[in-house]
Amino acid sequence: MSFPINRPRRLRKNETIRRLVRENRISVDDLVQPLFVVPGKNIKTEIDSLPGQYHLSVDRTAEEASRITTLGIPAIILFGIPEKKDSLGSEAYAENGIIQRAVREIKKTAPDLLIITDVCLCEYTDHGHCGVIKDNRVSNDPTLELLAKTALSHARAGADIVAPSDMMDGRVAAIRKTLDENGFNDIPILSYAVKYASAYYGPFRDAAGSAPQFGDRKGYQMDPANALEAFREVELDLDEGADIIMVKPGVAYLDILTGVKQKFGCVTAVYQVSGEYAMIEAAAKMNLIDRKAIITETLLSFKRAGADFILTYHASEVAEWLKEK
Ligand code: PBG
Ligand code: ZN
């Protein structure tokens, strides 16, 4: 049957009916706020490449975490900028490393907030790569041990979920094994299973000082041209024990997000990355777009595509909007 019997506009007549038939909505429950922790005390400095986001010292991170809890946001993800970097990224797994200290402090001010820690070496290595360098290449297997050590030290500090973002083969299995052997079999792994070698990470690398000092990350992160490979990555990570699968970046990879959800039915997260955020902020600043409408529409697109939750630099602001409603 078709027109004039069928008239889809009947269900778009006014906001009340649109509200009734709406398929997806953004809830504060879906949001994860990334935070950047830096050494020092009482520091809150706006990040040049990410206007509206801040470098926070441990004390100010703890303060921000309790504000975020008040907004109803269930989780944060932490990135650390260490005091010093070296070739093995040893601050990443130091007992008193920046993340380990931040986690312990946050647990005091915001005990119910879930702390996700990004597990990678690039912020901690002097060469800026996500693993150990051998013969000018990132060497996979020696890196696994360091990643597992990092995840374990985060769990020991009190992290609720560990999120490896390095894209080494076998890292989920290595982390799972180490966590389990040390009594942390109840700590979930959120795997950046589908992480593309993307230019959208530019502003993050400025914020974290983690740009590779030679070459690029194409030898370990995925080729943006590939989709089937993404599904193979997910299958491997689920086999290795990943509890949640992340797709990253967001808008440019919605097809992958939908595919992961449909094929695997697993808990699926999406990361709206720094470049996506920075582009919205820049265009809004130039008055080229309606900022709030664009942010809302973008977050909705992730839900529609199949995301269970969204890592976004807009999280706390969106939570404020949802409260006002
Ligand atoms: C670390 C890491 C990166 C991001 C999250 N974890 C940077 C990279 O892989 O170069 C990017 C996040 C963003 O751009 O917002 N490996
Ligand atoms: Zn990395």
pLDDT one-digit tens code per residue, 81-113: 999 999 999 999 999 999 999 999 999 999 999
Q: Which residues are CB-contacts of 101 (< 8 A; sequence separation ≥ 6)?
A: 58, 157
Q: How many structural domains is the chain composed of? A: 1
List residues bridging with 37 in a β-sheet.
56, 80
Which of the following is catalytic: 107, 149, 195, 261? 195
- Nearest atom in ligand 1 to the alpha carbon of residue 277 is 15
**Tokens standing for residue 178:** 């180490």
Ligand 1 proximal residues by C-beta, below 6 Å: 118, 120, 122, 130, 165, 201, 204-205, 273-274
The answer to whether residues 104 and 62 touch, using CB atoms and an 8 Å cutoff, is: no
**Tokens standing for residue 99:** 């993340």
Q: Is residue 72 part of a domain?
A: yes
The answer to whether residues 237 and 259 touch, using CB atoms and an 8 Å cutoff, is: no
Q: Which residues are CB-contacts of 231 (< 8 A; sequence separation ≥ 6)?
A: 259, 260, 263, 264
Query: Is 292 labeled as catalytic in the residue annotation?
Result: no
Distance 142 CA to ligand 2 centre (A): 15
Q: What pTM was estimated for this model as a whole?
A: 0.97
Q: Is residue 259 part of a domain?
A: yes
Q: Is residue 8 part of a domain?
A: no
Q: Is residue 46 part of a domain?
A: yes
The answer to whether residues 42 and 62 touch, using CB atoms and an 8 Å cutoff, is: no
Which of the following is catalytic: 85, 149, 248, 303? 248
Interatomic CA distance for residues 296 and 141, integer angstroms? 41
- Give the model's pLDDT for residue 325: 76
Interatomic CA distance for residues 127 and 229, integer angstroms? 28
> Which positions of the chain have pLDDT values less than 70?
none
The CA distances from residue 61 to 66, 118, 263, in Å, are: 9, 15, 38
- Give the model's pLDDT for residue 105: 98
Interatomic CA distance for residues 164 and 193, integer angstroms? 9
CATH of the domain at 226: 3.20.20.70
Q: Is residue 200 part of a domain?
A: yes
Q: Is residue 14 part of a domain?
A: no
* Residue whose token pair is 């997260």: 269
Q: Is residue 146 part of a domain?
A: yes
Q: What residues make up the domain containing 79? A: 24-324
Query: Is 303 labeled as catalytic in the residue annotation?
Result: no
Ligand 1 pocket check: which of 36, 118, 165 to mutate, most ligand atoms within 8 Å of Cβ?
165
Q: Is residue 9 part of a domain?
A: no
